[in-house]
Chains A and B, each alone.
Chain A
Amino acid sequence: MPLMPKRVKHRKVQRGSIAGLARKNNKLDFGEFGLQACERGAITNNQIEAARVAINRHLKRRGKVWIRMFPYKPCTKKPLEVRMGKGKGNVESWVAPIKPGRILFEVSGCSETVAREAMSRAANKLCVRCKFLARSAG
């Protein structure tokens, strides 16, 4: 089941901006290795799920995975061939706004080679450019 909030205060919200850099959640806190965003963007719940599956498949269910983001923001879309107006569209997906520097995933319980490949596969599923982090390297 894709990630989404159980309940929200407002069904639809304005787009907002994703300005600045990640001032928190920008360091490895749980695992030995991690994936860090280098760009800003909005990662959808489907992308997070695809990345999670890619990591788990490569790890072959060994090791532990932490998802360090949550898609809390509703994203709406009007249906195709519909004229403008008549109110805001329906909620199409849930996104996690990502600022540069944000840690997206963390992994532990595997070798660096395996973690690097798993994170590379996960990064291919995401809409932002990412880089690999290892705790030993700082």
Chain B
Amino acid sequence: MNKVKKVLNIELRTKKGTGNARRARRAGAIPGILYCKGKDSVAVSVKARDWSLFSHKDSHLIDIKLDDGETRKALIKEVQEDVLKNMVLHIDLQEVRMDEVVRTAVMVHPKGTPVGEAMGGILEQPMHSIMVSCLAAKLPDAIEVDVSSLDVNQVIHVKDIVLPEGVKSEDTPDVVVFHVLIPSVLEATVAAAEDAAPAVGTAAPAAGTAAPAAPAAGKKDSKDKKDSKDKKKA
């Protein structure tokens, strides 16, 4: 199941700190850290070109080769990115033993075309990865889920996903991973809940109605004035 496909060459980094990290980035390297249970963490750096060639989208478990030529297995724990420049800023690697239980998020991919799509439905995937725990040797690169039997308004939960042997899901079983909805059900939803309404405290109806209601109210007022003028003339 788990095949470590590529080897990432990493170098030990002696110069630490923000300034040195920035200098390393300018020189085409990515600063990182390698840590392991029971050992001291080591500052490392990876060549940006190596990292871009290295496919890390699905596989978390990789082979790393240190300066001394020693090859070890490591788990990619975190990748910090500059979202505007599409640049990797820092990587976290955790050295693991293959007989060690690891806990990580694994991507879930749909397989096949749902039956419901023929009836105008759309396959939605609210959850793109699930948290699993297993031995490092059995960690899958990604999990493929057969969605071909999904009809309209049918769902696949976390508990419905058949995981490889030895792999255990750590997510809530009732969470929806795939579902097929008809377009009329799909409506624009507002998902910015965090900074949505800082609506605490007393009600302020004037604030709520002020902006859009203002032109309408203005029109109404002008109409009323006209009516009163007409009445006076009469």
Contacts and interface: CB of A to CB of B under 8 A. Distances in A.
B188 A52 contact: yes
Contact of A74 (B57, B181, B194, B211): B211
Contacts of B190: 3, 66-67, 70
Contact of A11 (B83, B128, B181, B210): B210
B201 A109 contact: no
14 contacts: A2-B211, A2-B212, A4-B208, A6-B199, A7-B199, A8-B197, A8-B199, A12-B207, A63-B183, A65-B189, A68-B192, A72-B198, A92-B214, A135-B128
Contacts of A7: 197, 199, 202-205, 207-208
A9 interface: yes
B119 interface: no
A38 B199 contact: no
Interface in B181-197: 181, 183-184, 186, 188-192, 194-197
B221 interface: no
B31 to A, nearest CB: 20
Chain B facing A: main interface SS: loop
3 shortest interchain CB distances as A-B pairs: A109-B122, A91-B210, A9-B201
Given A62-B183, A64-B186, A6 B210 contact: no
Chain A facing B: main interface SS: loop
A94 B203 CA distance: 17
B118 interface: no
A74 B194 CA distance: 17
Interface of A: 1-12, 21-22, 24-27, 29-30, 36, 38, 45, 52, 56, 61-70, 72, 74, 90-94, 100-101, 106, 108-109, 135, 138
A27 B83 CA distance: 8
B192 A25 contact: yes
B84 interface: yes
Contacts, number: 124
Given A7-B207, A74-B210, 12 more contacts: A1-B212, A6-B199, A61-B183, A61-B186, A62-B122, A63-B122, A64-B189, A66-B190, A72-B197, A91-B214, A92-B211, A94-B211
Nearest to B190: A67
Contacts of A9: 198-202, 204
B44 interface: no
B123 interface: yes
A4 B198 contact: no
Nearest to A110: B122
A29 B183 CA distance: 20
A74 B192 CA distance: 17
A35 B65 CA distance: 38
A93 B83 CA distance: 30
Contacts of A63: 122, 183, 186
B57 A138 contact: yes
Nearest to A37: B84
B206 interface: yes
A5 B123 contact: no
A68 B84 contact: no
B14 interface: no
Contacts of A74: 207, 210-211
B196 A72 contact: yes
